[in-house]
Structure 1
């Protein structure tokens, strides 16, 4: 299973001065409610949203999405 490293994502968004979910929504087009759920760890981005984040913030997905053992993912 794979999980988004929210802290690393926030580092990338801060470099563009996007410090709120609304700013991330405006730059990526991802629904604002989805952005907040992703940032709060309530959900994981789908591939389309992950690609939008990567393009908007010039990040390599391999640096912000990490493999986690299934046992940890269930916790």
Structure 2
């Protein structure tokens, strides 16, 4: 059995939310198996907070998508 992979639209949505610091666990449908196995919910933004840039700006979503395209099979 293969693990499900996100669609390009799902990846783009996640990147858009992540660069704004809003990719939280309450927005992600989490499998019932997590509660059955005693695992807690996931919070991606808590694991990978957005970096603080000089001048108060944020990383552009297009830059993040370019990195994902280069570093993965996106």
Above 0.5 in TM-score? no
Larger RCO, structures 1/2 (Cα 8 Å, 6+ apart): 1
**TM-score (norm. length: structure 1):** 0.32
**TM-score (norm. length: structure 2):** 0.32
The structure with more radius of gyration: 2
